[in-house]
Amino acid sequence: MHPIADGLFTTSNPPQLIGGRDRDSNRIVFPCPENERYEPVPLKREGTLWSFTVQRFRPKTPPYAGPESFQPWAIGYVELPGQTIVEARIANVDFEDIEIGMKLKLTAVPLDPEDNSSPAIPAFEPVGDQA
Amino acid sequence: MSDVCIIGAGIHPFGRTDGMSGVDQGVFAVREALKDAGVEWTDIQFAYGSSDAAGNPDTMVDQLGLTGVQFINVRNGCAAGGSGLFSAQMAIKSGEYDIGIAVGFDKHPRGAFDAKPSEYNLPEWYGDAGYMVTTQFFAMKIQRYMHLHGISRETLGRVAEKAFRNGALTPHAWRREPVSLDAIMEAPMISDPYSKFMFCSPGEGGVALILASEKKARELGKPLVRLKAATMRTRPPGSFEVFAPSIDVERGGSATNIASGDAFEMAGIGPQDIALAQLQDTECGAEIMHLAENGFCADGDQEEWIANGHTEIDGKLPVNTDGGCLACGEPIGASGLRQVYENVVQLRGEAGERQVPGNPKTAYSHVYGAPGVSAVTIMEI
C-alpha cells in the first residue's frame, strides 16, 4: 500500500505517524504543517480512544475519494499520551465493541476496503487481547 | 451610553422555496421589517448583509431602490448573521448613523454541506479520506460529552422532540409536524449516536432587522427592544472544532465560552437573569452542550433539566422556542438573525401559540460554527 499523502508515516518498521512540534510552544499537531515553525516528530504508536462515531452515509465527492460502493466506517480521535489527539479510522473491530478509553495501536487501511492497492490512510486497531 | 434598539423585524419562512432566489427571500424579509418598523427603504442609512452561498447581499438594492445607501456584505461562516448584526449596532453606537438594517439570507443545495479542505487550510488527503463532513465532528463531540457527563441518548431524542413540537407552532418554521420520541430514536442512524431526526439540514430563508438609536426609536414611537450586548468571538487554545485532524491533549474552553462571558459582562446581567434563549442546535447535542457552555447550567445537569421540562416553552428557561435549527433548518447567512427575530417577537409578546408566558423581559441568542466562531446577543425590553 502507498500512503494517501507524503509526510504522514515514518519509513521505520513498524511505521509511526509524523506529527509537528511547534518550536516555540512545544505544542504537537498532526499532520506536520509544511512550515519552518514546526519540527517533524514521530508520534507514539499506542494510545486510547478519546471519542468516535460511525460514518453511515457516503460523504460527498468531491472531496471524498473513496469507492462508489459505500460501506460504513468508524472514525475516532485517539489520545497519544503527552503528545496530541489524532483523528483516524478505527479498524478491525465491530462497531458495537468500540468504547471510549479502549487501548489502540497504529495501523493503516486502504481507502477502498475491496482494493489493497488503493491509498493507505492512518487507522488505529485494538491492542492484542481486546481484539 | 444610550442603547441600540431593534425597531423592526421581518422574516421569509425557512425551508425550501422553489423559484425564489436567496436574494429574493432577503428582499422579502427587508420589506416585512420596514413595514413592521413603519419606515421606508429611503429612511435606511446603512445595511449589513450576510449570505454564505446565495450571492452578494448588496445586489438587493436593485429591488429595494437605488438610494445610494452604504451596503456592506458579510461572510463569516455560521457567525455571518451575528457579525452583520454586531457591525450594524457599532455603526449606530459610534454616532455615525441613526437607523440601519442587518439582513441575512441563504439558499443551500440539498444534502450535507460540501466543504473543501483548501477553504480550511487543510491538506487535500483529509478530504479524500472522507473527513470534510461536519456531522462526524458533531457526533464525536457529543459522544465524548455523554461519556464524561452522563447524558443519555434518550435526552438527545427529547431535544429533537421538543424542537419539532415548537416548530409545529411556528409559522416561519420548516418542519411543522410533531415527531414522536420513538420515531426519533429509531430513525436511521446518520452518525452514531445521532439518527436523522437529530440533525438539522441546510435550507433556505431570509431575516431582516432594523436597528435604530434609542433617540430615533423614541421619535418613531416604537417599543424599545434594547440590544444590550452583541459579541462575536473566535476560539481559545485547546478547543475542539469542526475539521480538526488533531486536537490538544490539554483541553481548553470554546469560542462560545468567550462570546457568552463577554456578552454577560457587557449587559451587566448573568445567565440566571435570562428569561428565554435561542441556542445553536445544529444537532440535539449542541443544544445540550451549549446550555452549559453559555453558563445556564453545569455540565451534566442537562439530564435532569430535560427530564423535568426546564427548556420547554413553559419551563424555567425556554430554549429554541421556534424549534431552532432542528425545525427551521440552517440557511447560514440567516440563521443567527432568525434567533434574534424570534427573541424580538417573544419580548414584544407577539409569538402567538408559542409565546413564552409571564411577559419575558430578557432574551439570549447564540450561534456557533466552523472553524471555532461564536456570536451572542442579549436583549431586554
Report the CATH number at residue A76: 2.40.50.840
Query: Which of A87, A99, A112, A118 is best to mutate for the B interface (most B CBs within 10 A)?
Result: A87
In this structure, is residue A114 part of a structural domain? yes
In this structure, is residue A31 part of a structural domain? no
Residues of chain A with C-beta less than 8 angstroms from the C-beta of B112: 57, 59-60
Q: Do B129 and A111 touch (CB under 8 A)?
A: yes
Q: Quote the ipTM score.
A: 0.96
For strand A84-90 and strand B246-247, is the pairing parallel, antiparallel, or unpaired?
antiparallel
Q: Can you tell me the distance from the alpha carbon of A90 to that of A78, in angstroms, rounded to the nearest whole number?
A: 9
> CA separation (Å) from B89 to B52, B242, B342?
21, 29, 18
Q: Do A54 and B123 touch (CB under 8 A)?
A: no
Query: Which of B116, B119, B125 is best to mutate for the A interface (most A CBs within 10 A)?
Result: B125
In this structure, is residue A24 part of a structural domain? no
Q: Which residue of A has its CA nearest to B245?
A: A87
Q: In the structure, what pLDDT confidence band is assigned to residue A129 with cuts at 50, 70 and 90? A: low
In this structure, is residue B42 part of a structural domain? yes
- The CATH number of the domain holding residue B8 is 3.40.47.10
Q: Can you tell me the distance from the alpha carbon of B118 to that of B111, in angstroms, rounded to the nearest whole number?
A: 21
Q: Can you tell me the distance from the alpha carbon of B163 to that of B46, in angstroms, rounded to the nearest whole number?
A: 35
Q: Which amino acid is at B218?
A: R
User: Within the 160-179 window of chain B, which residues sit less than 8 Å (CB to CB) from chain A?
Assistant: none
Domain count within chain B? 1
Residue owning grid cell 483523528: A87
The grid coordinates of residue A16 equal 509511526
In this structure, is residue B72 part of a structural domain? yes
In this structure, is residue B140 part of a structural domain? no
> Residue A125, SS3?
strand
Q: Among partner residues A59, A63, A77, which is closest to B116 by beta-carbon distance? A: A63
Rounded (5°) CA angle B283-B280-B79: 120
Which pLDDT does position B268 carry in this prediction?
A: 98
Q: Do B190 and A57 touch (CB under 8 A)?
A: yes
In this structure, is residue A11 part of a structural domain? no
In this structure, is residue B161 part of a structural domain? no
> Residue B381, SS3?
coil
In this structure, is residue B185 part of a structural domain? no
Per-residue confidence in pLDDT tens, chain B, 381 aa: 689 999 999 999 999 999 999 999 999 999 999 999 999 999 999 999 999 999 999 999 999 999 999 999 999 888 899 999 999 999 999 999 999 999 999 999 877 677 889 888 899 999 999 999 999 999 999 999 999 999 999 999 999 999 999 999 999 999 999 999 999 999 999 999 999 999 999 999 999 999 999 999 999 998 899 999 999 999 999 999 889 999 999 999 999 999 999 999 999 999 999 999 999 999 999 999 999 999 999 999 999 999 999 999 999 999 999 999 999 999 999 999 999 999 999 999 999 999 999 999 999 999 998 778 999 999 999
In this structure, is residue A32 part of a structural domain? no
> Residue A122, SS3?
strand
Cα B26 versus chain centre, distance = 16
Residues of chain B with C-beta less than 8 angstroms from the C-beta of A89: 129
The rounded radius of gyration (Å) of the Cα atoms in chain A is 15
Q: Do B131 and A75 touch (CB under 8 A)?
A: yes
In this structure, is residue A4 part of a structural domain? no
In this structure, is residue B8 part of a structural domain? yes
Q: Do A53 and B192 touch (CB under 8 A)?
A: yes
For strand A46-55 and strand A73-80, is the pairing parallel, antiparallel, or unpaired?
antiparallel
Domain count within chain A? 1
Q: Can you tell me the distance from the alpha carbon of A41 to that of A30, in angstroms, rounded to the nearest whole number?
A: 10
pLDDT at A131 over 50: no
Within 10 angstroms of residue B313's Cβ, the number of other Cβ atoms is 21
In this structure, is residue B188 part of a structural domain? no
Domain extent for A100: 44-130
Domain extent for B217: 4-111+200-380
